[in-house]
Chain A
């Protein structure tokens, strides 16, 4: 089954304790992206990657890091989490075909609480 998976689905942590949220897709998609969803703000892009070893900042990158060592994986790293990073996080992926980007497939989400 074609899908985007994220782990963990739920996480409660404390300020300053480094954490990683994993994202994996099995569709051989070139493009992967991380979003955070906050009430009244919709989804805002954190980081994205156009392919292996190619990453770039989205609209709200502060406090986050990513890496793309393999095509299927795109982990989100919070080196020193703070309470304002409490949010619902989504990973998404997409492919390029005929010079056009196809629809984005989303993972199930990770609900992060930073105390």
Chain B
């Protein structure tokens, strides 16, 4: 079945530092890949997505590239802010599928 593995946290950074959260997946066919963000006390929000190989999703300074050869979708941001403190989830949805499979989540804390 489909599965997602993302790096364990927690991750603590200083403002303006570079952030990378690794995400790899196992799936058949051509899944769609997502990053969701959960701010404290809130539900999940879609941060970015990519639906085919070599697509780059981007939003709010975050980027992730769908790499089929390495089955990866790593999340990056060049200069984080305190407001980026949140839990980040990598997820995939199989081809022609409705179901989302989530990674365990990575808690990121950015200090001023």
* A residues at B contact (CB < 8 Å): 4, 31, 35, 37, 40-45, 48, 50, 58, 90, 92, 94, 96, 99-101, 103-104, 106-109
Contacts and interface: CB of A to CB of B under 8 A. Distances in A.
B25 interface: no
A101 B97 contact: yes
Contacts of B89: 42-43
Interface of B: 4, 34, 36, 41-46, 49, 89, 93, 96-100, 102-105
Nearest to B4: A42
A93 to B, nearest CB: 11
Contacts of A4: 43
Given A90-B43, A101-B93, 13 more contacts: A4-B43, A31-B98, A37-B105, A42-B89, A90-B44, A94-B98, A96-B98, A100-B96, A103-B34, A104-B46, A107-B43, A108-B41, A108-B43
A108 B42 contact: yes
A9 to B, nearest CB: 9
B43 A40 contact: no
B109 to A, nearest CB: 15
B43 A109 contact: yes
Contact of B98 (A37, A40, A50, A109): A50
A45 B43 contact: no
A108 B97 CA distance: 24
Contact of A42 (B34, B41, B43, B104): B104
A43 B49 CA distance: 18
B46 A48 contact: no
B99 A45 contact: yes
17 contacts: A35-B102, A40-B104, A41-B104, A43-B100, A43-B102, A44-B102, A45-B99, A45-B100, A90-B43, A92-B44, A96-B98, A101-B97, A104-B46, A104-B100, A108-B41, A108-B42, A109-B42
A1 to B, nearest CB: 14
A42 B102 contact: yes
